[in-house]
Amino acid sequence: MARRANPAFAGGVVGVSILALVYATTVASVQHHTYVHVMAGLLWTGTDIFIGAVLGPVIGGLGEEESAAVFERLTPKTAFFLPSMAFLTIAGGLTLALRLGIFPHSGSWLALFTAANVVPILLLLGWRLNAWSDWRWRAAFAVGTVGSLAWVATTIGQFQMTSPAIAVALVLVTVLSVQGFGFLMPGEIRIYRQMTSAAPDASVISAIGQQNAMLGGVQGLVQLLLILDMVYLRYGGF
């Protein structure tokens, strides 16, 4: 996949995202931390909206061969770019909220948030990639499920309501995360498998690609709601 995307691009976008998060959460000022979070969110949201509202309808008017050709070039890059921006945005936002002290009673909420993301995503990966019998998926599912639920069990006794804006943000981020890592990413992997198979099927590549483009548009709309919630959080709306 990295070779198809261009190794420099794939390594660069992942590496820069990791470095940006490390910088934001260690030595960066609050202003720089905010900048990293906001810019990653803009790139993530803007790309999803562009794919769903502009690129999707254009590709939808193409034939299967032309549509498949576009997704064969696009998918390897989005497979690295979008998950990197999503992870940087989410992790940067959570750590910023903790840093600013606007995430009360975070312990039990973070545990519930982790379980609500990890378990469905792993289940969807197993289903979408037909990996139920793969020992690697079983091992990941066991570790992720047991670990996240154990965290919930150790913190649920201290559960108290957090701020409404934070609760809304966690729900919206969960929707984005499960949809992105549980539907969009497996779709990209299936496109790649089809591209590299002995007899690539253009109709399959086109169908999965257009489904991902539509879901990308839905992601963009949910992200706009999340931005609205962040504005309310920042300026004390609720």
Domain boundaries, the chain: 2-104+162-234
What pLDDT shows up at residue 71?
87
Task: Report the distance separating Cα 144 and Cα 6, nearest Å.
Answer: 31
Q: For residues 194 and 214, what is the distance between their CA atoms, to the nearest angstrom?
A: 20
Mean per-residue pLDDT pooled into runs of 10, the chain (238 residues): 82 95 96 95 91 84 86 89 94 94 93 96 94 93 96 94 94 94 92 88 89 89 92 71
What is the pTM for the complete model shown? 0.90
Provide long-range contacts, Cβ within 8 A and 24+ apart, for 61-69: 64/202, 64/203, 64/206, 65/202, 67/202, 67/205, 67/206, 67/209, 67/210, 68/200, 68/202, 68/203, 68/205, 68/206, 68/209
Q: What pLDDT is stored for residue 56 in this prediction?
A: 81
Q: Which pLDDT score, from 0 to 100, does residue 99 have?
A: 93
Contacts for 230 with CB less than 8 Å, ≥ 6 apart: 165, 169
> Rounded to whole angstroms, what are the CA distances from 219 to 4, 226, 229?
25, 10, 15
